[in-house]
Amino acid sequence: MNFKRYLKTDQQLVLQSRESPATVDRTELMIVTVAAVEGARLVVNSPYGSDIIDQYAIGTDAPVEITTDVMGMGARVSAHFKEKLSSNRFALQLNYDLSLFQRRVKERIDCDLGIRFSRGAKTMNAMREVWKKNLTVLHSPEAPLIFQGFRSCRVNISSGGIRFALKPPANQGDLCLILINLDDGKPPVCTIAEVVWNCMIDEEAATTGMRFINILNQDRDRINSFVVRKK
Whether 166 and 213 share a structural domain = yes
Encode pLDDT of 165-198 as tens digits.
988 888 888 889 999 999 888 899 999 999 988 8
Give residue 58's pLDDT. Answer: 64
For residue 132, pLDDT beyond 70:
yes
pLDDT exceeding 90 applies to what percent of the chain? 50
What pLDDT is attached to residue 53? 65
Q: Are residues 22 and 92 in the same domain?
A: yes
Handedness of CA 144, 148, 154, 156 (dihedral sign): negative
CA-to-CA separations, 73 to 96, 101, 163, 196, 206, in angstroms, rounded: 18, 6, 23, 19, 29
Q: Give the C-alpha separation, 91 to 103, whole Å.
A: 27
pLDDT band at 129 (very low <50, low <70, confident <90, very high): confident
Residue 33's pLDDT band (cuts 50, 70, 90)? very high
- pLDDT of 80 over the 70 cut: yes
Burial class (CB in 10 A: 0-12, 13-18, 19+), 145: exposed
Tally of structural domains, the chain:
2
CATH code for the domain in which residue 58 is found: 2.30.110.70
Return the pLDDT at 87. 79
- Model pLDDT for residues 35-71, shown as the tens digit of each residue: 999 999 999 998 776 566 666 656 667 789 999 998 7
Residue 110: CA atoms inside 13 Å, Cβ hemisphere, count?
3
Looking at the structure, tell me whether residues 226 and 119 fall in a common domain. Answer: yes
At 186, which CATH number?
A: 2.40.10.220
Report how many helices (DSSP H) and strands (DSSP E) the chain contains, helices first. 3, 14
Domain range spanning residue 119? 108-230
Q: Which residues contact 212 (CB under 8 A, 6 or more apart)?
A: 27, 159, 160, 161, 162, 191, 192, 193, 220
Tell me what the pLDDT averaged over the chain comes to. Answer: 87
pTM for the full predicted model: 0.82
**pLDDT above 60 (res 20):** no
Are the CB atoms for 7 and 15 separated by under 8 Å?
no
62 and 158 fall within a common domain = no
How many angstroms separate the CA atoms of 16 and 29, rounded? 5
